[in-house]
Amino acid sequence: MRHHTHDESAHHADVWTGRATNRVQWLLALVGAACLALGIELAVDSTWTSGVAPLAMSVVGCIAAGLLVLFGTLAFVHVALKVDRECLEVRCGHIGLPRRRIPLSHVAGAEFAAHVTPRHWGGWGYRWRPEKGTAVVVRRGEGIVLRLWDGHTFTITVDDAESAVRVIRDRLRTVTPGTAH
């Protein structure tokens, strides 16, 4: 068992982290991998007799669709949120892209949203709707809605969103609006 000193526990309290995951998107990634495999199979072992152009179009189409679906879904299998003393950072997928870093000085407020759904945003992923703002939606459920000083909103689906809102509100009390950190 490792013992933490008072300074270590205070340091860990400076950063709040959370995430949300969508396991259903792994099924979509499998569909993308199947399309990719079909394109490779057609290219390597084809008995296509209709000519080279239709074969090339089929191979390219299967590989392109497979890569698009595969990478598009893997990028939004999960979202990670980190809130420190200066900013809030959102990272998507396994490589952390797309990523958005929002200084707390740009945040006017934070609200808990009990029910955020992909249906309200037009699907999973990094979304923008003129009447709603921007969002990172990886699953339905609870989330955070940030009101930014420029009038925009940014919504993130994340587990334990109420805790995140409390941390963000606490941090906003010590930040001067509109200042760069």
Least confidently predicted of 75-79, 91-95, 156-160, 176-180: 176-180
Least confidently predicted of 19-28, 37-46, 96-105, 122-131: 19-28
Residue pLDDT, tens place only, 101-110: 999 999 999 9
Nearest to 137 by CA among 25, 29, 27, 26: 25
Six-digit token string for 40: 């490779």
Check residue 1 and give its pLDDT. 34
Q: How many Å apart are CA 45 and CA 54, to the nearest integer?
A: 15
In this prediction the pTM is 0.73
Predicted confidence band of residue 160 (pLDDT cuts 50, 70, 90): very high
Predicted confidence band of residue 14 (pLDDT cuts 50, 70, 90): confident
- The CA-based angle 97-99-105, given to 5 degrees, is 175
CB 53 within 8 A of CB 71: no
Tell me the torsion sign for CA atoms 77, 83, 86, 88: positive
Answer yes or no: is pLDDT of 176 > 70. no
